[in-house]
C-alpha cells in the first residue's frame, strides 16, 4: 500500500466518516481530512491540491446525486474521486464511472473491500464492486448528456455546477474572480454544448444523471 497519502472523506454522517477513517487507517501514516457538507468539500479540494483521493458521498447538504461529482471534477480533474454511496444500483455505478469517478464503493461494503478499492485507485486503476455487471447505458438521453458534459472545459463545468446551485451571474463572477461578461460567455457556451435554451433546462437536464434528482432553484 502507498504511504503518506492525503485523503478527504466527504460525508455528512459522522458515524460513517468514522468507519471510513477506520478503513483508511490500514494505510501507512495517512493524513485524513473530513467534510460534512459540499461547500466544505469544495473548499478543501481547492485549498489542498495535493489530495491523493476524495471519498465522496452522493447525498450531503449542498449537493444531491452525481452533480457533486461533476462539480468536484471541474474543480480539480487530477484528484481521483471515489463515490461512496448507499445508492449502489448498476445505473448509478455506471454513470459515476462514466462521469470520471475513479471508483465506486457501496456503503454496505466490508472494510476489506473499501481498502482494496482505495488501493486499486491509488495505484492508478478503476474500481467497481466485483458483483456489478455494468453493461451499457440504457437511457440514450443520459448517454448523450454524459458525452456532452465531457466537452465542457473545466471552467464551463464549474459554471454549470454553480448554475445548478442557483447562483446568479454576478455571484458566479465573484466566485471565479472574472467579469460578468466572461460568465455570460461561459453560460452561453454551456447551454450550446448541452443543447438547451435556458439555465433552468440545463439544471433539469443535469438532474437526469443523479440518483436523487435536484430540484431547479430560482435562477
| Domains of the chain: residue spans and CATH | 6-122 (3.40.50.2300), 140-207 (1.10.10.10)
Separation CA 152–CA 137 (nearest Å): 20
At residue 65, the pLDDT reads 74
59-60 and 63-64 as β-strands: parallel, antiparallel, unpaired?
antiparallel
Residue 8: what are its φ and ψ, rounded to 5°? Answer: -125, 120
- N-term to C-term CA, the chain: 47
Question: Which residue's entry shows cell 436523487?
Answer: 212
66 CB neighbour count, 10 Å cutoff: 28
188 CB neighbour count, 10 Å cutoff: 10
Q: Can you spell out the DSSP letters for 16-76?
A: HHHHHHHHHTTSBS-EEEEESSHHHHHHHHHH-TT--EEEEESEETTEETTHHHHHHHHH-
At residue 2, the pLDDT reads 52
At residue 49, the pLDDT reads 86
Which stretch of DSSP H or E encloses residue 63? strand 63-64
Q: For the chain, 219 residues long, give each residue's pLDDT as a single digit of tens.
A: 455 789 999 999 999 999 999 999 878 778 999 999 999 999 999 999 899 999 999 888 887 678 889 889 988 889 999 999 888 888 889 899 999 999 999 999 999 999 999 999 999 999 988 776 677 777 788 889 889 999 999 899 989 989 988 899 999 999 999 999 999 999 999 999 999 999 999 988 888 776 443 333 333
At residue 217, the pLDDT reads 36
Amino acid at each position: 500500500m502507498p504511504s503518506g497519502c492525503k485523503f478527504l472523506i466527504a460525508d455528512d454522517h459522522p458515524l460513517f466518516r468514522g468507519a471510513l477513517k477506520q478503513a483508511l487507517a490500514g494505510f501507512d501514516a495517512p493524513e485524513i481530512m473530513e467534510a460534512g457538507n459540499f461547500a466544505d468539500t469544495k473548499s478543501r479540494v481547492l485549498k489542498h491540491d495535493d489530495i491523493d483521493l476524495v471519498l465522496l458521498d452522493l447525498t450531503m447538504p449542498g449537493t444531491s446525486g452525481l452533480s457533486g461529482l461533476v462539480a468536484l471534477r471541474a474543480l480539480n480533474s487530477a484528484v481521483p474521486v471515489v463515490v461512496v454511496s448507499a445508492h449502489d444500483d448498476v445505473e448509478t455505478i455506471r454513470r459515476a464511472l462514466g462521469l470520471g469517478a475513479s471508483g465506486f464503493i457501496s456503503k454496505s461494503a466490508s472494510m476489506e473491500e473499501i481498502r482494496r478499492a482505495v488501493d486499486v485507485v491509488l495505484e492508478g486503476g478503476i474500481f467497481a464492486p466485483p458483483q456489478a455487471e455494468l453493461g451499457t447505458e440504457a437511457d440514450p438521453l443520459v448517454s448523450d448528456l454524459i458525452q456532452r458534459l465531457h466537452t465542457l472545459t473545466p471552467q464551463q463545468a464549474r459554471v454549470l455546477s454553480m448554475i445548478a446551485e442557483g447562483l446568479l451571474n454576478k455571484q458566479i463572477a465573484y466566485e471565479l474572480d472574472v467579469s460578468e461578461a466572461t460568465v455570460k460567455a461561459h453560460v452561453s457556451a454551456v447551454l450550446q454544448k448541452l443543447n438547451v435554451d435556458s439555465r433552468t433546462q440545463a439544471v433539469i437536464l443535469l438532474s437526469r444523471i443523479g440518483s436523487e434528482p435536484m430540484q431547479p432553484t430560482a435562477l
